[in-house]
Every structure is written in structure tokens, then in C-alpha cells.
Structure 1
Amino acid sequence: MERVRAKKHLGQHFLTDLGIAEKIAKSVTGHQEVRQVLEIGPGMGVLTDFLLEENWDLFLVDIDKESIAYLHKKYPQLGDHIIDADFLQFDFSKVIEGEYIIAGNFPYNISSQIFFKVLAERNKVIEVVCMLQKEVAKRIASPHGNKDYGILSVLLQAYYDIEYLFTVPPTVFDPPPKVDSGVIRLKRNDVKVLDCNEKLFFRVVKQGFSTRRKTLRNALKSMGLSDEMKQDPILDKRAEQLSVSSFISLTNKLEASWKK
């Protein structure tokens, strides 16, 4: 079969190192009762081959028509498990029942958007094993108090236990990207619902990091801080200094102050 041409506008960098592909596939641990894995952007199936060896109930999704045609020829046994769609727009409940795992070499240009969709589907997505730009991977796995810690760090760590697994050099891709990549694993924790208003929590986190060099007192000014709330010492800190539990506490304090 002819090779699929990597397309710059889709952020495609095809992994060529079989050893790394196998290592990523073996990093998918899952749960005994959950066997469904959705691979995002399989390209020519380098990772797919190893996921199939692990006997997962595999689904593939790609927006690239050329890749879809290639995958149908390479994996005729997958049939309608090969999905021609935009991951960000598609409703996977139409094809995958219950909980599932996400794996893949994420396109750099939409990796953050992929994770916001994972958050929206957090009660179905029990694990994510993925490769993405090292800078973004480090940020997601970063603990509070670190300069890399940001919006996605807080939101994802609220619902997932996150590990940075290993770094991948540009030389193992075709075409090679200009930066290193990183592989991370997210495993759903036991938190079903946060101990606060979740919608407000998301808003507070995003607003808190909107001006990350400023204290939270300044960053959250537009949220209508009461005079009493303005005196709270938690607002002397910057967003990057707050853990997930501290953000939950801040959310509850804000909501309580508005009710007084």
C-alpha cells in the first residue's frame, strides 16, 4: 500500500519507531472490565498494530480521508470501528457504549482542545495514554507551585491521576517536529463530583490563570469580590500556587460570600 502523506495543516507527524509505538501501547493499562480503546489520529497504524496485539476492542478515528482509506485497506477486520470524523465534533456515544480508553499520537495543534473534550466526557473516559508536545505534556502533569502548572493541570488533575512517562525525540517522526514530544498517562480517579459548584470551579480556575503573574485578588476582580472576600489571605497567592483542593476551597468561599 502507498504511504499516507503527512499533512501540515492537520499537524501530522507520523511515528516511525516501532519500539516507541510498542512502549506506548503497553502503557495502556485500563481496567479488566473495560476493553474499548479509541485511538485518535492513527495515520498509518504504527501504534494501531501494537494496540491490536494487546487484544483491545479497538476503534480508530481520523479526520484525514487519505488515512481513513489506508486504514480500511490495512485493517478490513475493523469495519465500522474505523470512524471518518473530527474527534472534537463527533458524538462517540453513537458507536461506543459505556466507558472507554483514549490513546494516540495527538496532533500538536489541537491537543488542548482534545483534553477539554476529555473533561466533558470524564465519566466515560477512564484512561488516556497519549503523545503530545513535551511542553504541554509537562504542563498537564505539573504539580502546583511549578511555573508549568496551568488551567489544564488543575482541571485534569481534579478528575485524573497523571503521570509523565517518557520523552520522545523529533528524529523518530516523519516529518520530524521542531520540538521533543512527551508521553503521559491519565487514569480516572474516584472523584465523581467535586465538593463544590463544578461550573463555578471551572470559571474560577480559568479566570485565576488569565493574568497568572498577578495575585488572585487582582485576577478575580471581575467576579465581584465582596469586601469580606477581598480580605481572605488565599487571594494573596497566585493561581499557580493553589492545589486542586485549594481551588475547590476558593470556589466554595466565593459562592458563600455572594450569598451573604
Structure 2
Amino acid sequence: MAGVRPKKKLGQHFLKDQNIASNIVKGLFDVTNPDHVIEVGPGTGVLSDLMVDNADIKKLVLMDLDQESIAYLNHRYIGKEVEILHADFLKTDFKAMFGETPVSIIGNFPYNISSQIFFKVLEHRDQVDHVVGMIQKEVAERIASKEGNKTYGILSVLLQAYYDIEYLFTVPPHVFDPPPKVNSGVIRLKRNKVTHLDCDETLFKRVVKEGFQKRRKTLRNALKGLNLPESMNDLEVLNKRAEQLSVQDFIELTKLIEGHD
């Protein structure tokens, strides 16, 4: 397609529908007017085309691991104010690239690393203020899911602690080359005002991860690896499963565990 062959090992599925591309970009620009934008996995430039001539963007970086895509984009955008990098987003040093400036991230994310991309966002939550990404529908639904749902999980809680998340729309397989075997979903993350959780954040992450790794068990059993003191045995919250707790509930549980050390 357009001189770039989609590569299975890179999880590439190139979007070929201009209206959907426009709606993805609109999903970002409807909520912010970003100065600095990274597009992850630009492929053949279907999203990039809608941003390269936007004078409000002070720095647009297109980042891809596919050398064929990089060569194509360099030719396509000769003379344009855009930085095209053959680089791994998961290893990107945002501060080295942008200083302290807030960064927005957009893309038709490679399906094979979509969860890793969001863990990277979480790691740099002090700088990444908005994300609009297209990923597998089930992953998108999981990230946006609320407590009480079977799809609610580790990424849901950790991301929702720091971001307001919306599931925007579903994208069918036939608008891609090659078509994936699943539907895709577009989600938007907007950084909330939380700078620090009201608990030990390292312990919070551990409680969330251990709770969901044994999600069919009550927290009393799922959290045995934390060696909770006997003084916590009577806590009603430990009779619940991880999927029943909201982000705030996990924060409160973490504080209880800290207080019983």
C-alpha cells in the first residue's frame, strides 16, 4: 500500500479510511490545541497528513520502527515542518526530546505493543497530558472500563488514577490493510489534576496488580503475598474481588495496609 508493505512482526494494519482518520485526529484537537505531538506508528501517513500543515503545532514527531515507512514519510513530507524518527517509542526519553513541555500522543498503535504503550504513558504521566489512540477494541474497552465490569483490570485502575478516559468509537476490520481479525477501538486519555495519590504509590500499584492477577479470588486470598497483618482480617473490603473496587477504593485499601504495618 502506497509503497509501504504492512509487516506482521510489527503489528501493522494501515488505516485506509479518511473519515475515520479525520475523526481520530479530531478526537485530540477537540479537547486540546497541542504544541508538541508524537504520532506513534504513522505508517503511510494517513493521520500525519491531517497534522503536518497545522501551524499551531510547534513540534510534530512521527515515530516508527519500520524503516520502509520512515523512508516513505521522508519523501512524502519534503520541506514540511515535521521530525521523522526511526525510533522505538517505548524507549523514548521525552524530556530529552521536548524538555519539560507537555506532550500529546496520537496514533494507530501497533497492536502487539498497545498495552506497553499505555504503561509508558503512565510512566511519563507528569509530561503526557493527552492521548488519542486506536487499539484492539477489547483493550480499549478494558482501559475505559469501570469497576464492576469483567473487562475492568490493572490498566483500567492505574490509568484512571491519573487520567480521565473516554471510549470514543469502534472501527471495523475492513477499513485496514490488511484487515485485523478483531474490531478496533479509539480511546482518549486526558490528564486529570492528580499529581500524587493519597497513599504510597508503589504499594498502590502492587495491591492493584496482585489483586487482579488472582481476580477470581477475594482480596483476602489474592493479597496473601503482601503478608497482611492479622489485625486486618476483619476488614469487609477483603471479602470483595479486585474488579469490585473503584480507583478510590484501591487508594483507601492501600492506606489501610500502610496503617496496619
TM-score in terms of structure 1 length: 0.95
Match in the other structure for 2:24: 24
Contact residue 162 and residue 191 of structure 2 kept, 8 A: yes
Instruction: Give RMSD over aligned pairs.
Output: 1.4
The answer to whether residue 198 in structure 2 is matched with residue 205 in structure 1 is: no
Of 200, 215, 220, which aligns to 2:218?
Answer: 215
CA distance in 1, matches of 2:78, 2:119: 32
Match in the other structure for 1:88: 90
Match in the other structure for 1:150: 153
- Residue type of the alignment partner of 1:24: I
Shift of 1:84: 1.1
Contact residue 126 and residue 188 of structure 1 kept, 8 A: yes
Of 66, 75, 78, which aligns to 1:64?
Answer: 66
CA distance in 1, matches of 2:52, 2:65: 21
Contact residue 72 and residue 79 of structure 1 kept, 8 A: no
- Residue type of the alignment partner of 1:202: K
Shift of 1:100: 0.8
- Residue type of the alignment partner of 2:91: Q
- Residue type of the alignment partner of 2:190: K
- Residue type of the alignment partner of 1:219: A
Q: Provide Cα deviations, 1:157-182, integer angstroms capped at 9, x if missing partner.
A: 00000000000000000000000000
Match in the other structure for 1:135: 138
SS at match of 2:199: coil
* Amino-acid identity (%): 60
CA distance in 2, matches of 1:75, 1:94: 24
Contact residue 37 and residue 102 of structure 1 kept, 8 A: yes
Q: 1:46-125 alignment to 2 at 5 Å?
A: 46-55=46-55, 56=57, 57-78=59-80, 81-97=83-99, 98-125=101-128
Shift of 1:219: 0.3
- Residue type of the alignment partner of 1:27: G
Match in the other structure for 1:183: 186
* Structure 2 unaligned blocks of 5 or more: none
Q: Provide Cα deviations, 1:24-61, integer angstroms capped at 9, x if missing partner.
A: 011113545x4111100000100111123544331111
* Structure 1 unaligned blocks of 5 or more: none
More off after superposition, 196-205 vs 83-92: 83-92
Q: Provide Cα deviations, 1:56-97, integer angstroms capped at 9, x if missing partner.
A: 331111011111111111112357711111111121322223
Q: Provide Cα deviations, 1:172-201, integer angstroms capped at 9, x if missing partner.
A: 000000000000000000001111111111
Structure 1: which 4+ aligned runs deviate by more than 6 Å?
none
SS at match of 2:228: coil
CA distance in 2, matches of 1:200, 1:15: 40
TM-score in terms of structure 2 length: 0.95
Contact residue 138 and residue 164 of structure 1 kept, 8 A: yes
Match in the other structure for 2:240: 237
CA distance in 1, matches of 2:105, 2:2: 27
Shift of 1:2: 5.0
Contact residue 60 and residue 82 of structure 2 kept, 8 A: no
CA distance in 2, matches of 1:130, 1:187: 12
CA distance in 2, matches of 1:11, 1:136: 15
CA distance in 2, matches of 1:96, 1:6: 30
CA distance in 1, matches of 2:78, 2:96: 21
CA distance in 1, matches of 2:7, 2:210: 35
Contact residue 218 and residue 241 of structure 2 kept, 8 A: yes
